[in-house]
Amino acid sequence: QLCTQANNGLIIDDAAVAADFLAAWKRIEAAGDAYPPELVTGNSTATTLPVDGCTVTPWFVATSAAQDLDYARNLISAAKQGILFLFFNPGIFQTDPHKWTLLQDVLYRHQQQDNPNFNPDLYIRGVVNQEIAQLTESGAPAAAQATTGAGAEAATADASPVTLYTGGVEPPQQLGHDVLVPHNIKAQFHAWEKELLGASMVNIHSKVIVLDPFGEDPVVMTGSHNLGFKASSANDDNLVIIQGNGPLAAAYAINIVAIFQTYRWNSYVEAHRADPNVWHGLVDNDQWQSDYLIGNNLAEIKFWLGEGAPGAAASPVRSVSSTASA
């Protein structure tokens, strides 16, 4: 997993958080192979714990009515600057909003119809490990036009186990504006990469959502939880939600966008392998940066420079740390 998957780990050095996890473990031990009412009831509320200037809210499942997802949805709906994510398999498309995966909640922020939390300028970037019918495939609802002028990028013709969302404006609304089939990246990366990426392995195994990493209320959500209704109702999983830790959120955001850009570049190479009208080298005049100051590129610069985000200079926090591998 360390060399073939994007994964992450989290260390929280706090006795109260450890006690909460131990209590959840004891509930699972007592339940055996079943999901008795005692287990579900105990998991259907969560305790928010202070840890060195931020808060940590561990959720455990199964829950009785997706209380963990509702808690996360409220935070997603309140994001002001940006949302970044890595999903392994959040589950199938759901028509009932109460059963939506958190991926659906994230993408809904770019949907205008009947949406009080619609924000076409919200910076959204992420990677999903596999196609999801009605969400990451043709026929999904179209995304709204961002006022920054951001446009959709050309997709490759191949179906892909890894799909990326760039805030594009053409159908499908989903993550398919940049798509990648790792084993189809051939000559550019030679035999070692081709052999490694061609193996039958997961590419993205992280389950992470980051909200407003440079804002006043940064949030990191991660755990074993697949971030969907099935996981919330029928698994033994955990979802840790950390609020107010800017350095941790920034570290996760950087890791996510690094993974995103890796797949995005591979997709670009594959899509434009033989296209003479697409950039293939350096520009040798004074216009070489022009494209960086318009549309999607300008929105990206503003997001990463923390424009409109007074929390960008948050002080480091001691006890909650992250390790991530790609």
Pull the structure tokens for residue 25: 């473990």
> Does residue 240 fall inside a structural domain?
no
Tell whether the model's pLDDT for residue 83 goes beyond 70: yes
> Are 49 and 134 part of one and the same domain?
no
Task: Tell me: pLDDT of 115 over 80.
Answer: yes
Query: pLDDT-based confidence at 159, cuts 50/70/90?
Result: very low
Residues 6+ apart with CB under 8 A from 198: 182, 183
Q: Which helix (H) or strand (E) holds 199?
A: none
pLDDT of residue 100: 93
pLDDT single digits (tens) 124-156:
888 888 767 666 654 444 444 333 333 333 333
Q: Are residues 170 and 31 in the same domain?
A: no
Where is the domain boundary, 42, 65, 88? 65
Residues 36 and 94 in one domain: no
Of all residues in the chain, what percent carry a pLDDT higher than 70?
Answer: 66
For residues 135 and 80, state if they share a domain: yes
Among 82-91, 95-104, 159-168, the minimum mean pLDDT is found in 159-168
Whether residue 95 is found in the same domain as residue 207: yes
Per-residue tokens: 195? 């052999």
Q: 191 vs 262, which has greater pLDDT?
A: 262
**Cα torsion for 46, 52, 53, 55, to the nearest 10°?**
-10
Residues 87 and 212 in one domain: yes
Domain end position, chosen among 65, 85, 118: 65
SS3 72: helix
Helices (H), 119-278: 190-197, 229-234, 246-271
Last residue of a domain, one of 65, 87, 106: 65
Residue 182 and residue 42 share a domain: no
What tens digit of pLDDT does each residue of 51-80 get? 999 999 999 999 999 999 999 999 999 999
Is this prediction's pTM over 0.85?
no
Nearest in space to 144 (alpha carbons), one of 126, 122, 176: 122
Is residue 227 in some structural domain? no
| pLDDT mean across residues, the chain | 76
**Is the predicted pLDDT of residue 158 greater than 60, yes or no?**
no
Instruction: Write out the residue range of the structural domain in which residue 216 sits.
Output: 68-220+260-273+293-311
Check whether residue 21 and residue 131 sit in a common domain.
no
Total of domains in the chain: 2
Q: Which residues pair with 320 in a beta bridge?
A: 12
Residue 183 included in any domain: yes
